[in-house]
Structure formats: structure tokens, C-alpha cells
Chains A and B, each alone.
Chain A
Amino acid sequence: MFKEYSILLTFICLTFLLATIVFILSYIFSVQKADAEKISAYECGFNPFDDARTTFDIRFYLVAILFLIFDLEVSFLYPWSVCIGYLNNQGFYVICTFLFILTIGFLYEWFKGALDWE
């Protein structure tokens, strides 16, 4: 195990401890006199008009999926950029093929208008 990550573990434990202390202290020291009007949900001072989960455009989902795919592409490129020094020509052509295949997808996405916000 990496010994230099032990200080990270220490910090995680400290933040967890601190968050727990703050949470518990604010729960103990605050005055809690709850009634139905105080703890019920409201919307800009009024009673809530409808459900909070409204439907929204599927286009947000498409943007999230396309982000995921190109995020993975960058993750694949990162080890190549680290060890490009001792890879031979084959490694270079492999990454060119990889980028070519994904560029086909990117052109499809562009000309299909998937990123245009109508």
C-alpha cells in the first residue's frame, strides 16, 4: 500500500469527525419547537404548487451520455500520453485508429445536431 496516502486517510477521518461534531452540536444546542407549519414544505412562502419532480427535456440526458463517452476517451488517452516515450510506431497508429473511430462518432453527433439546443 502507498505509505504517502496515509496522510490522506488521516484527513478523511478528521473531516468525518469534524462533520459529525458540527452536526451533533447543532442538533443539541438549537432550540427545537417544531409545529406543522414550521416543518412543512413551502415554495417561496406559499404551499407547494405541485410535485418537485417535474419532467424535463431528454436532451440533458443526451448531453450527460455524450459527456461520459468523451470523458472515457480522455481517460484512455491519459496512459498513452504518459508512456508515449517508449511506445513504438504501433502505439501511435493504434491511438490514431482509436481517435479516428471516435471522430466518426463525433461527426455523426455534430451533423445530426445532437448538441444544438433548439
Chain B
Amino acid sequence: MSSELVLFYCLASIIIVSSYIVISLKNSVFSILFLVLIFLNAAALIMMLETEFLAILFLIVYVGAIAVLFLFVIIILNVKLSEFYYSIGQYILIGSILGIIFLVQTFLILDTNIEFHFLDNIHNLYPEWNFEVYSQSNIEALGSNLYTNYMYVFILAAIILLIAIIGAIVLTIHQRGYVKRQNILNQVSRDFKDSVYYINKIVK
């Protein structure tokens, strides 16, 4: 076996084992940490497909943002550890049905053997210099397609982000009635004669 195939099997087996650990742990914070391990290994798999920008983006979005949001949700929900005891028997039927559907869909879409792609590159150890010089990096390939051919999808992504901003603000903000804020205009325009006076003046 080639070294890339060994690396692929190592990363994929780490992903499978730690995804089992994610759903079997009682403490949900540890589950999030194993989820981060899954994301790191999946980013390494994407790196093996020679798309390094997507791998870094995967790390930024999933580990830097999604995992942090999951941690927030877990802490906000305030779940006690003892509530997690359940029997696995009541989920095994629906879980296996969903898993079989997912596997069938995956094999229908990806109708190729995945090790075939890795075995192509074994004998290609020497760099092809014209390919190295004249080819685009994958960031350039992504950018030259994203902003021209997939223009409408890009604008759609902006609209989805806008909806996310508005939805998050509407859901979580609550205005309190009386809030002391620092108003610089009031502070600067405050006059000495109006602010210092005898109490007698009011009594009269």
C-alpha cells in the first residue's frame, strides 16, 4: 500500500472511532472536544485532496466557529450529566435505517472507488515543471470561478449571512428599560451654574 493510502485509512479510522465516542460519552463537553478532533481529521482529508484553502476554511469555520457555538449551547442549556442515561435499544432501529439510507445515497452519488484516486499518484513522484509553473493555485481557481460563474450563488451567500445577522439579533436581544449610558454630549455641555446650587432654592 502507498503511504497516502495508509494515511487515508488512519485519518478515516480516527474519524469513525471518535464519531462513535461523540455519541457515546456522557459528558457533552468532552463530546465537543472529540467533535473538534473529527473536524481536524476531516480537514486533513481535504488537504489530501490537494485543496488546501478549503481545508483551512474548514478549520476556521467548523473548529473556530461551529464548535464554539456548540459549547455555548451546551453551557446555556444547563443540562445535568445524569439526564443523559438512556437505553441504546430504542434508537437502534431508526438509527440503522437512517445509516443505511445515507450509505445507499453515498454509493449512488459517488459511484467510484475512493482508493482509485490515491493509487493514481504513486508513480508520479517527480514534479512536472510546466504544470507547477503555469497552473493556478487552488485559491486562484476558486476565486476565478466564484466571482464570475457562480456570481448569483455568491450573492445568495451574502443574503443568507444577512438573514443570519438579523435572525440572531432578533432572537437574542432584549432591551432593558433604564440603562445608564455615557453620553459625551451631555457631559461636555453640562454647565457649572446649573449643576451646583443650594437646596434652599428648591424649597422656596
Contacts and interface: CB of A to CB of B under 8 A. Distances in A.
Contacts of B144: 83, 86-87
B76 interface: yes
A55 interface: yes
A66 B154 CA distance: 19
Contact of A80 (B72, B137, B147): B147
B38 to A, nearest CB: 16
Contact of B162 (A2, A5, A105): A105
Instruction: Give the interface size bracket for B toward A.
Output: 35 or more
B60 A75 contact: yes
B53 A101 contact: no
Q: Is the interface of A mostly helix, strand, loop or mixed?
A: helix
Instruction: Give the interface size bracket for A toward B.
Output: 35 or more
Interface string B126-168: 0000000000010110111011100100110111011011101
Nearest to B155: A97
B155 A61 contact: no
B157 A90 contact: no
Q: Is the interface of B mostly helix, strand, loop or mixed?
A: helix
11 contacts: A62-B169, A65-B172, A83-B139, A87-B148, A90-B151, A94-B155, A95-B147, A105-B166, A108-B166, A112-B169, A112-B173
B143 A87 contact: yes
List the 10 closest A-B pairs by CB distance, nearest first: A79-B143, A105-B165, A83-B143, A91-B147, A68-B65, A101-B158, A65-B168, A105-B162, A98-B158, A62-B172
Interface in A51-108: 53, 55-56, 58-62, 64-69, 71-73, 75-76, 78-80, 82-83, 86-88, 90-91, 94-95, 97-98, 101-102, 104-106, 108
Contact of B61 (A5, A9, A72): A72
Interface stretch (B18-26, B44-52, B83-91, B94-102): B44-52
B23 to A, nearest CB: 21
A114 interface: yes
B113 interface: no
B65 A76 contact: no
B146 A114 contact: no
A90 B143 CA distance: 13
A108 B159 CA distance: 14
B75 interface: yes
B64 A71 contact: yes
Contacts of B169: 62, 108-109, 112, 114
A65 B69 contact: yes
A107 to B, nearest CB: 10
Given A64-B68, A112-B169, A76 B48 contact: no
Given A58-B172, A62-B168, A71 B65 contact: yes
A73 B61 CA distance: 11
